Copies of this chain bind each other. A is one copy, B any other.
Amino acid sequence: MEPLLAVLNLIGTAAFAISGALTAIRKGMDLLGVLILGMVTAVGGGVFRDLVLGQIPPDAFTDPLYGIVSALTAFVVFLVLYFRLASFRSVNGPLFQRVLLISDTIGLAVFSVVGVQAGFDLHEGSRWFLCLFLGTITGVGGGVLRDLLAGDRPYIFYKHIYACASMAGALLCTVLWGILGETPSMLLGAAAVVLIRLLAIRFELNLPRIPLEEREK
């Protein structure tokens, strides 16, 4: 299913590049900072996955495609906000936040199942644990890197639905793989990630945490 994988990879790359670029703009980085954070967010999860799998050099370093797509995407984002700022009213306004959230969710969904695919590709379905792990890491890796580099508290630890959704989608994809085959599993897994995340936000679902006044910030 080569074409599907290529299309998913491009969608995920562009989506994460948007989320990285918007984060960079929110932090006051300059043009090059916006490009770099867009690229790092887009390829970060994949590079880590490739290192773990022994796919060396990682795809992102030998195939310029993903680097170019993510840099161009981030550049367009910069231009849009630089010249037509009015449409966003203000950086960090509601529209800005919504685009950031949606692009981040799409990137998370796509890369979660792309990671599962990489696991099956290598080990012929024998290692479900590896597939699940790879899916989650590929999915959340770029975002964690983005948050770390931007000096934010990583989403993954506070917006629980983030990692939860990635894991659920990767698990669904892994389980369905042997039953429905590659394409339906990946599409359903990605859809599950988007659905879970949006439902959680809509209904403000939260995992428990330990609430304490004495807790240090």
Contact = CB atoms under 8 A, between A and B. Distances in A.
Query: What does DSSP make chain A's interface, helix, strand, loop or mixed?
Result: helix
B160 A31 contact: yes
A154 B149 contact: yes
A210 B25 contact: yes
A54 interface: yes
Interface in A95-109: none
Interface stretch (A58-66, A175-183, A185-193): A58-66
Q: Within the oligomer, what is the number of copies of this chain?
A: 3
Interface in A62-83: 62, 64, 67, 78, 81-82
B91 A214 contact: yes
28 contacts: A25-B210, A26-B215, A26-B216, A27-B217, A29-B209, A30-B157, A30-B158, A31-B160, A31-B207, A32-B160, A32-B163, A33-B156, A33-B209, A36-B157, A47-B52, A52-B57, A54-B56, A61-B129, A61-B134, A82-B208, A82-B210, A90-B214, A91-B215, A92-B215, A144-B149, A148-B149, A149-B154, A150-B157
